[in-house]
Structure 1
Amino acid sequence: MNDEKNKPQITSEERLLAAMAYGEASTLNNSNELKAIASVLVRQKTARGYDTIAAFVKEEPTYAFIVSDGNARYKELNNAKDDDIYADAGMANALDAAKNALSGGEDLSNGAYFWDGKDIETNYSKHFKVKHGIKITDPSHNVFNIKDSVKLVIIYKEITTRVKVKGKNKKGKAKAKTKTERLEVGRYDHVYESTAGYGGTIFWKNNPDYIFLSKGKEYK
């Protein structure tokens, strides 16, 4: 018997994460999209050293924005009764996504730390990630049919050495001069690479070559 009243009570962590995923996802209510977003939020929470989603939201304004910016879908789920969440297909999908992520379930984002919705299509030329370089690694990720934006960046370092030359100086010692060489350390042509795409969302992680050369953090 499918009786919502017999469903377990929704915890505050489940509700908060479900509401965030529901608010960030497209109105397609795609279960894979919701699960992937919830997994990214939990991964960001853990990477930044927080024990709970609530603590993460409180301290990280970038990811807490949806909680305070009046997002209608976030507010709808966050204010809904448990029975209403279970009874609504979209909100129920979001709740399942939250439970999956909080329990360490399947990560449909494939290791992503970021995502983008339709704005990366409508605001392509001015989009932050596009300007820094994106690469679609699998056509199935490209839910908006956008182009790669790649630009080769080569990182160099200079090495200065002393080399002997013919002759001696006034003190009778062998002459020497400094020689500076410019050596390539590495290169990359994009900062963000896609990991998945569902519904109205593309998921991303940082290019490992970029992280190595910039000595950056995967989650930033």
Structure 2
Amino acid sequence: MTSSNPSDTQLPASAPAAAQPIDAQTKQLAAMAYGEASLQDNSDEMMAIASVLVRQRDSRGYSNMATFTKNDPTFSFVIGDGNARYNKMMKATADQIGKDPAMQAAIAAARNALAGGPDKSNGAYFWDGADIKSNYDNHFKVRHGIKITDPSHNIYDIKDSTKLVILYKIVKTKDKKTKKVKTEKVETGRYDHVYDSTAGIGGTIFWKYNQQYLDVTGGSEYR
């Protein structure tokens, strides 16, 4: 597991990621990963975010990042919320990117994800930054239930928020002799949290849905 200590971050020393032409999809994905990542400029963190973005793109049936972000703009807010890092990278020339180690790392992260390379997020579909600690009590995921599955993921030293949820259905049966209808509440399943952590890298915790929650609710992995 990569350390969350910025001093341990390994960024490219030269410019191999920017040496070849940067196509529009690669640049947009890289800018999104760069904008969503913490200010630590951790290359593994950007790789993980890029992998999640591509996984979400594919799961939602889009062939490219531009179509994905146009039709699902709320998945990554950096495009429309004035994120300075995203805008900086989108406006950067190839030469400027080639001189910036963090941007080079973002380009490498995008290329890795688009090529189906190593997934540092360990199969995640979602992520959170520092706000999950600063806004813990009101955080959407916390309120719905989170579980840190490995201590190394807990970069913000937060606690689990588990609470048992039991789902029921109403079953009606009719007595053949008396014709009376009996109503009974039958349990269909239970779970105690919605999100499992998959990694903690740099300033980001990565998540996927708890399998028991998916089994009980019949939900999809990516929504």
Q: Tell me the TM-score normalised to structure 2 length.
A: 0.88
Paired residue secondary structure (2:61): coil
Asked which structure has the greater CA Rg, the reply is: 1
Q: Residue 113 of structure 2: which of 101, 104, 111 is its match? A: 101
Matched, 1:126 2:131: no
Tell me which residue corresponds to 2:204. 201
Report if the CA contact (8 A) 1:4-1:83 is conserved: no
Same amino acid, percent of matched pairs? 57
Q: Comparing both structures, which one devotes a greater share of its residues to strand?
A: 1
Paired residue secondary structure (1:179): strand
Paired residue secondary structure (2:200): strand
Spell out, residue by residue over 1:169-195, the C-alpha distance to the aligned partner (whole angstroms, 9 max, x if none).
xxxxx4353333322211101111111
Unaligned runs of 5+ in 2: 1-13
Tell me which residue corresponds to 1:212. 215
Matched, 1:43 2:55: yes
Unaligned runs of 5+ in 1: 165-173
Q: Tell me the TM-score normalised to structure 1 length.
A: 0.89
Report if the CA contact (8 A) 1:152-1:187 is conserved: yes
How far is the alpha carbon of 1:33 from its aligned partner? Answer: 0.6
In the TM superposition, 1:47-66 aligns within 5 A as: 47-66=59-78
Spell out, residue by residue over 1:90-143, the C-alpha distance to the aligned partner (whole angstroms, 9 max, x if none).
111111100000011111111111100000000000101111111111111111
Paired residue secondary structure (2:63): coil
Distance 1:18 1:218, change over 3 A: same
Report if the CA contact (8 A) 2:18-2:107 is conserved: no
Count of residue pairs the alignment pairs up? 210
Spell out, residue by residue over 1:63-83, the C-alpha distance to the aligned partner (whole angstroms, 9 max, x if none).
353112111111111111112
The one-letter code matched in structure 1 to 2:178 is K
Distance 1:211 1:161, change over 3 A: same
Separation of aligned partners in 2, 1:151 and 1:106? 34
Matched, 1:28 2:31: no
